[in-house]
Structure formats: structure tokens, C-alpha cells
Structure 1
Amino acid sequence: MPDSLISRTDSAYSYQLLIKQLLYAPLANNPEQEIVYRDQWRGNYLTLRERICRLANALTRLGVKAGDTVAVMDYDSHRYLECFFAVPMLGAVLHTINVRLSPEQILYTIDHAEDDILLINSDFLPILDQIKGRIDTLKGYVLLNDEAQSPHSSIPIAGEYEELLAESDTHFEFPDFDENTRATTFYTTGTTGLPKGVYFSHRQLVLHTLGVVTALATPLSQGRLHRQDVYMPITPMFHVHAWGLPYAATLMGLKQVYPGRYVPDHLLELIDREQVTFSHCVPTILHMLLKSPLAEKIDLSRWKVIIGGAGLSKALCLEAMRKGIDIFTGYGMSETCPILTLAHLTPEMFDLSVEEQAVIRCKTGVPLPLVQLRVVNEQGGDVPHDGRSSGEIVVRTPWLTQGYLKDHRASEKLWDGGWLHTSDVANVDGRGYVKITDRTKDVIKIGGEWISTLELEDIIAHCPAVAEVAVIGQPDDRWGERPLALVVRREEGEEKAAEKGILNFVREYTEKGMISKQVVLLKVRFVEAIDKTSVGKVNKVALREKYL
């Protein structure tokens, strides 16, 4: 059938889906609504627009132009929110650096993304001092500082953020350009040692925002996001744009609260003082918050929380529900911008017992509007929606990364057959609720952060006492998972001494920045042999069944 394309009047305005369009509604309808950073800064949407323009002018004076890349290393702050808008609105690319990576990995991402300017919080200057002589691309540094005194550093700072903004004009005419222009880049780690760069266009971020708002704003009550909510992220803004929720909150004109560093009592104080009603975090953070004595003293019954990044246990869900928290699961990954599903309850589900509701809240959920999600077997066919048959989640939606930056082979594998492959194994029940049961990749997720078992095995295998090793993820109520090393020793000996030696050996690698510090949670178990498949590969399915 031939296409029937619409005809355009020559003078008609071609409305591109650009990030700048997300600012129009709050500026028109809720300009005085507050935006708060800790106890240090308080503004509103008019202030936000003004500061976005100031930042654009400041970056332009530093030589930033369309196509350049501006990187940020900061805690969750109003500054980060301003960068979410100003940088891509210039036509430049925002690179949100994962400050939890090792210095060597951060160096790799800076060079691989070809960053031109770096905005860096003073707390992270020591990381930069370790790698500064090997950075090839950066042309300038801007200091982000919460303290009155400027820190001492050998890094050539072009200026301090607030001073640069104060010197800049409050007006900037942001241009129109193609909505498919790349807006953001960040890096995800998985089974391989080098982080992979994912990227998203203006169009994708706008459509993801609209999809998230639609999904969150339409439920009757449970998990509903509305204009009277007060939003505070407790997911780092460097991680998939804080799940895209700052864009959604801005579009809706919500009061926004940015907490800076994640200190449990400080977060709880902000929730109480600013009357926060909507957040999202990984299970580890929620566990720490609920274990704080302060959690017993403040009212959390108005708080709605999306849990993602790792599986939500029924025990943690019930503990949160006992405090009146409206808790439910969201699912996605770095490659998916990220939100694909949400585990909202339907009205009739409120007739179920609390325990039965918790089971549903802990599921992966149902797809958002515009998300085409399938669970397929090895032949690519859909598995029955019986809550038992398992397969891999594959998806199509407008906001999926179109590949990995500068990595054609991995990109083709990701998009094999025209569907994005998540490597997550799941089933679907008769109501359409997805539940992840496993992962095809041999990675462990500790507090929402990926740890490569292959990388950890490689390190442990270098320990003189180790003949053979396999690492699997062990369920943990606090961290989601923690690594369990199954070790065949070279020689018989005292187990406690051997375990201590392995842990000290691994700790040396963490201190050198060669692997995430999260591996200090490693547990060691000595075994007679490592199960293998018929072709001699380590059989981790069998190991999980035997030891977990």
C-alpha cells in the first residue's frame, strides 16, 4: 500500500520533540512552584528557566557548541537538573558520569565519550587527580562546590559554577534542530570489563517522559503521580537520568527536592520537612532508611516509592507497607531509558490480603503505553501467559537505545532480530504481569550496581591458594545480592585462614580501583569441585541449585 504522507504548508511550524518543550507547561501553569536542594538552595520554575539560560551562556563562552559533549560528576542537585536541560538544549550531548566506577573506568568513559567540558563536584577532585595526566579530550573544567572555601587542586579550573552563572545573561535563544539529535550518553557495566556507552535522542527522552507520566498519572489511587505530589529522587541522577523522573516531574510542574549525598537520616529529614510524597530507589537504600531509628519517628504514610535496579523482596515490601508506604516495582535497564513496566495494583486487588498484595507489588509489572514487550523461548516464540513458562524479555518501544556507542558488534547482538534483548528471564501471568525469575548474563546486582562475576572470578583465580573458582549471586535482604565464591583450593589447609587470604587478595584490587568496592561483600565457600556442562563450561545453573 503506498504511503499517504500529509502535505505541509510552507509556513507551517515543524514542532520537533525537543527537551526544551518540556519546560513550557510548568512555566505557564506553575511558575512559583518550589525546587529545593538540601538546606542550601531554594528556587522555583522561573528561577530554573533563568539558570538554564545562564548556564547555556556560560557554556557557550567556554566554547561549547552543538555536537560537543559536556560531562557532569555531581550528587543529585538543582545543578544537575539544570544540566539535564541546558546541555542538550544547546544541541550538545550530556554525559552523566557514574561516580561509583573506578578511576580507570571513569577515565575510559571520559575518553570514549570524547568529553569536551567537565563539570565536577569538589568531592570528586581526588578521582580526577589520579587520572588527569592521561585524559586526552577535556578542554576545560568547571567546579561545583557546596562549601564556602574553594578546594586546593592541581586541576585547571575554568571557573566555579555559581560564579559563571552570576556573570551570564538570563536570556538565551535555544535553537530548533532535528529531534533525533543525540541528547545524552552514559555508560553501563555488565559481563565485560569495559563499560558500554548507551545514548538517547531528544525525541526518545520526550516520548519516555510522556509514557511515564501517562502510566503514573492514570491509576485511580495506588502509585499515582499527580500535581500535588512532592518529588525527590533517591536514584543517582547519573544513572539513566534518575530513571527519567526529573523530566516527568518538571513537565508536571511538581515541587522537586534534591538531596545531595545519600545519608539515611538526612534523606528522612528531607522527606519529613519538605513533605515528600514520591520517590524511587533501589532496595538497599530503602532498607537503610527503614532501619534508621528516625524512620520510627516520622510519618511515612504519604510516601509512594518505586523500587527498581534489583528485585524487591516480599519481606522488604511488607516492612514498608507496615509503615504505610505505597511501594511497588518498576523495571527497566540502562538500554531502555529505562522504564518499561510498573507493578500497579488494579482496584479489585485491594480486596486481597496484605501478603497477596505484596506478591503483586514485587512483580516486574505490566508494560507502559507504547511498550511492546514479549517473553520468548529460544526459538523466538512467545511463551504461554501461565505464570510458569519462562523465556527472555525482548522489547520494542520508541525510547530504546539504538546501539552501543562505537561498538557495532555488541549493538547487533543487543538488537538481534529487530528486538532489544534484555537478557532477563521472566514469565507472564494471565493478567499480563511480568515477573523476572533469572538473568541470562552472569552478573550480580549489589544495591542496584552490576558486578561482573567473570571479572571477579578472574581476580580470585590469581590468588595462589585458588585452584578453581566460580562466582554466583547469593540473595541478600539488604543488598539484593552479594557475591558467593565457590573455591577449589590448591592445597588442604585451615579454611578460615584461606578465606581471609582470598578476601585480602580481592581487597587489594578494590583499593587499586580495578573493581568495584562492592565486592567487599564477597563470601567464600570451599567446595570439592565446580560443576561443568557437557562441553566443559562452568554450569552456574547447577551451582545455584546446589548451593543456594
Structure 2
Amino acid sequence: MTNNIINKTPSAYAYPLLIKNLLANPLRQFPNQEIVYGDFKRQTYREMGERIHRLANGLAGLGVKPGDTVAVMDWDSHRYLECFFAIPMMGAVLHTVNIRLSPEQILYTINHAEDDVILVNTEFLPVLEAIRDRIEPVKKLVLLNDADQPPATSLNIDTEYEALLAASDPNYPFADFSEDTRATTFYTTGTTGLPKGVYFSHRQLVLHTFSVMTALTGSRQGITRNDVYLPITPMFHVHAWGVPYIATVMGVKQIYPGRYVPAHLLRLIQREQVTFSHCVPTILQMLLASPVVNEVDLSRWKVIIGGSALSPTLAQQARARGVDVFTAYGMSETCPILTLAQLKPHMLDWDEERQLDIRCKTGLPVPLVELRVVDEEMNDLPHDGKTPGEVVVRAPWLTQGYLKDPRNSEALWHGGYLHTGDIGVIDEEGYLKITDRLKDVIKTGGEWVSSLELENLILKHPAIEEAAVIGVPDPKWGERPLAVVVRKDGQEVGETDIKALLQDFAAKGIISKYGVPDRVVFVDVLPKTSVGKLDKKVMRAQYTVE
């Protein structure tokens, strides 16, 4: 076979897939569209475009050059959106620092990423003060301040963000460079070992933007130019799932809330008439439990749930408020979105219960994603909705490795597919459903028991607020399930009640009899990771010792 490689005319422009090319059309077409930062600031796309140029010039004045790394420690804000564009558009690398990590972990990520400049919100100055003597080398600091007065700090602040922009030229010559240039770096919050650095190129971010945008705009459960967008996913966490880039390309009105306070979020939804958001289940649960929710009309609100499983119970609560809720799936290493649990057209007439089952699945792969469920020999398993295997993927935006970590990088890509570490099934309609994490699946008496399935069943009890199921060592069966649950305020429920509930499901054939936990532990709060996921490593360590 002869490869017909195209001939390139010497004068032809190759048009590299760079983040700057996401920005040009919306600035021209929607210059007066609004971007709102909580109660602090309202600005237009035109103003955002000018501020992006000023930020790039200001950073260049601080010595930032292509290949350098600029870290950001901020709440979700208009400033963060400006950094999403200006820093990679310069040819520098944006390091979105997970401000919910411990000071020691933050120190590790700053040093490992080799940050050159740190943009830091006033609220996180104490963190830097505690670790400054161990930051290598000393960084230049830019203060992000929402107050009228500068804060008291012993740190050497080089400049303040707004002062930097005000003193900088509104025109920066954003040059072309290779689309494979690294644009962003951030760190996974895995439950074992040190955080791992994942990284993405301009090409990957542009392709992720357009592929996910295609999926979202091709369905009633998606985003349109008439929507009002409020992310409730931290911007340090996988680019807030990449949706701020999509919203900007589309010229959508955007609302950035700052801190996540349920009453404040709900009032923003009401005041700005928000219609599109995404968040983890914990946030949605907090919003629906807030007394303020009774003052807010949520019937026009579309919400993507990611980060952990959407339980049918939580989905039912959201649907009762009129929320169009559905699931997305991905991970830090996948940029992140791989699938969306949108309803197919023929499902729109289904009753609510049948639709709910689809909404809570992991979803259909978005364009350009090749997704398989395989056995240990990488053989494909039947798409029967029953046969579980590991989920492996290929897509043009998957991280190509872990930063400075070739051993774990090879393990991630073993066999030429990215290994998610998730166990799932694919049904006849093509929908993926994650049934567990490889590290969380419980193997008892040689049989797999899904912790996620048990958690969802426990949550059907009206007195239970949250539930986690873990495997603990057992001398006879290898492992046995243990349930750790949180009661709703003022509710009385005991271990016997939870076991009876699960034994009833076992009698109906929904779960196996050996899936009923031997123990149920009641706690006031479940341990969670910095991005709101259940921290089962902590629970396994705690309850294995007992």
C-alpha cells in the first residue's frame, strides 16, 4: 500500500491546535457576553481578552518565558479562567495546585513541577508561609486578593494580580509553536504514595474541548449558547473537567462562585438563572439538603455528576426538584471526560425509573474514545451488561505518562491501552457501568462483590445519608464486606436494620447472600479525599486494625 502523504505548499499555514485558537472566535462573536465572579466582579468577554494579554505581559515582566511553569492557588474565579488561557498561550505550563492537599503534599507538587512563579490567593498564604523554607528555589509570588486591603504576611510578595494587569500592555504577541507543547500539569490525588503529575499538550486540550463539546451539543442533555454556566468542580481538578474551555468557545455566560458554600451557590443559581453545571455527588447532596433550596427553581438546571458514582437515591432526589442530572466518567489521567450518560432519543419516552437507570450508568464514549472492557489477558468481554472486566481506553487526549515517573507511566500504558483501574460492564446499548475500582472490589470466597452496588442499596434506606463499603481481611473467606454509614440527622437506625435491608435484596436475587456485610459501623462523617471522593484507604487502615 502506498501512503499518499499530502504535499504542503510552502506558503500554506498548518494551523497548529493551540489553546489561543480556542479564544479568537468567541472574543469576536460574543464580546459583550458576561463573566461573573461571585459577588465581586462582572466583566465581558472583551475585557477578559484584554486581561489575558495584560496577564501574559505581566508574567513576562516577572521573567516567565516559554517552558517555565506558573502555579495557581485560587478558588474558582475569573482570574483562574484568564490563567487557563494566558499561561499556556505564552508557551509556559500552567500548574493548577490542589489547594485541598496537605501542606506537605503541596510542597511536593510545587517542587516536583519546578514552579517558577506562584499566583496565590490571600487565604492560602499561611500554607506557603509554613513551607517557604523548603520550596526549591525561592519563587516569585503574585497575590490574588479580593479584599480592599493587602493582607499581613511575612512572605515577600512581588506584586498583586490587579496591579500587575494594570501596569501591563494590553497587547501580547502570542506566537505559534508546536501543538505538542505541554500546556498544563496537575497532580492526582490517589490514595497510595505521593501525588503523581499528569500533563497535557495544547493539541490534547483542543481535541478534548471539541470532542466533548460535540457530545454535549448533540443531545438535549447538554449545553447550548443560551445556557448559563456555573462550574462547581474545582478549577484545579482536571481543568474543571475541561468545560470552561467549552463554555468559552461557545460564548456562554459564565459564573465563577469562589468558595463552595451551599447557600451562596444556590443564590447564584437563582440570581444568574444558571442552567448548566457539573459537580461531584457530595456537592449535589449538600445543595439539595440546604434549606435555601426551597427558595430556588431548579427545573431548568442540567447537572453532570462525576468524580464518583451517582446513586439512584441521589438521582431521584435531584429529579424530584426537576434537575436534569446524568453521569460523566473519566479520571485525572484522561483529561478527563471519556463517557457521558445521556439518554438516546428512543429513551426520552421511557418512564422515570427506566431513565434513572441510564442516568446513573457511566455512559457512552464521546467521539474519538475507544473504550474496552477486558480480562487479564486483554481479551474483550461480552457486552451483556453482566460480565465485568477492567476498563482500558485510547483517545487523543490521554496523558502520555506521569511526570518524571517512567515506571508508573509504563504500568499505566501496559499493552498500548491506558489502564483505568476501574471494573465495569458494557450493556447491549453500549453504555458502560463502573461496578468498582480494582483496588476496592471485594473478593470473598473467590467471588467478586461490588462495593458500589452495596453502597447504592444501603442508600435506599430512608435514614441513611452516606455509605461506604470496604473489604477487610477474613481468615476463612479472604475478605468480607464491611459497611461504614452515616445516619441522617435525627434518624434512628441500627446494624440489624441495614443487614435486614441487604438480606431482603439477597432474597430477591439482587445481590448474593455472601455480599451482606458481617459488620455495619455508624460514624458521624466519612473520610474523603481532597476532591470529595470516599477515601477507602483510610477506612481500610482503620477497620483492618480493629
Q: Is the structural similarity TM-score above 0.5? A: yes
SS state at 1:232 partner: strand
Residue 56 of structure 1 pairs with residue 30 of structure 2: no
Contact 1:331–1:365 (CA under 8 A) maintained in structure 2 = yes
Counterpart in the other structure of 1:438: 436
Counterpart in the other structure of 1:24: 24
1:439: Cα distance to partner?
A: 0.8
Contact 1:284–1:479 (CA under 8 A) maintained in structure 2 = no
Counterpart in the other structure of 1:412: 410
Contact 2:440–2:470 (CA under 8 A) maintained in structure 1 = no
SS state at 1:244 partner: helix
Distance 1:481 1:424, change over 3 A: farther
Q: Give 2:170's aligned amino acid.
A: T
Counterpart in the other structure of 1:272: 270
Counterpart in the other structure of 1:75: 75
Contact 2:424–2:436 (CA under 8 A) maintained in structure 1 = yes
Distance 1:399 1:78, change over 3 A: same
Counterpart in the other structure of 1:362: 360
1:149: Cα distance to partner?
A: 1.4
Counterpart in the other structure of 1:294: 292
Q: Give 2:428's aligned amino acid.
A: G
Cα separation, 1, equivalents of 2:17 and 2:181:
10
Contact 2:441–2:471 (CA under 8 A) maintained in structure 1 = no
1:137: Cα distance to partner?
A: 3.0
Which of 296, 313, 316 matches 1:315?
Answer: 313
Counterpart in the other structure of 2:36: 36
Residue 172 of structure 1 pairs with residue 172 of structure 2: yes
Counterpart in the other structure of 1:65: 65
TM-score relative to the length of structure 1: 0.83
SS state at 2:23 partner: helix
Cα separation, 2, equivalents of 1:396 and 1:485:
31
Counterpart in the other structure of 1:423: 421
Counterpart in the other structure of 1:342: 340
Q: Give 2:230's aligned amino acid.
A: M
User: CA-to-partner distance for each residue in 1:294-335, whole Å, 9 max, x for gaps?
Assistant: 111110000000000000000000110111100000000000
Cα separation, 1, equivalents of 2:23 and 2:6:
28
User: CA-to-partner distance for each residue in 1:458-505, whole Å, 9 max, x for gaps?
Assistant: xxxxxxxxxxxxxx99838598764869599xxxxxxxxxxxxxx9xx
TM-score relative to the length of structure 2: 0.83
Q: Give 2:91's aligned amino acid.
A: G
1:2: Cα distance to partner?
A: 3.2
Q: Give 1:437's aligned amino acid.
A: T
* Superposition pairs of residues 519-534 of structure 1, within 5 angstroms: none
Structure 2: which 5+ runs fail to align? 443-450, 475-522
Contact 2:391–2:424 (CA under 8 A) maintained in structure 1 = yes
Q: Give 2:299's aligned amino acid.
A: S
Cα separation, 2, equivalents of 1:217 and 1:336:
21
Structure 1: which 5+ runs fail to align? 445-471, 489-502, 531-548
Contact 2:191–2:537 (CA under 8 A) maintained in structure 1 = no
User: CA-to-partner distance for each residue in 1:201-236, whole Å, 9 max, x for gaps?
Assistant: 0000000000011000011x2x12110001110000
Runs of 4+ in 1 over 3 A off after TM superposition: 472-488, 516-527
Contact 1:191–1:441 (CA under 8 A) maintained in structure 2 = no
Distance 1:152 1:376, change over 3 A: same
1:524: Cα distance to partner?
A: 9.5
Contact 1:283–1:479 (CA under 8 A) maintained in structure 2 = no
SS state at 2:419 partner: strand
Cα separation, 2, equivalents of 1:28 and 1:286:
35
Cα separation, 1, equivalents of 2:414 and 2:466:
30
Q: Give 2:116's aligned amino acid.
A: D
Residue 326 of structure 1 pairs with residue 324 of structure 2: yes
Counterpart in the other structure of 1:306: 304
Counterpart in the other structure of 1:4: 4
Contact 1:230–1:276 (CA under 8 A) maintained in structure 2 = yes
Q: Give 2:144's aligned amino acid.
A: L
Counterpart in the other structure of 1:195: 195
* Superposition pairs of residues 60-459 of structure 1, within 5 angstroms: 60-219=60-219, 221=220, 223-442=221-440
1:84: Cα distance to partner?
A: 0.2
SS state at 2:111 partner: helix
1:72: Cα distance to partner?
A: 0.4
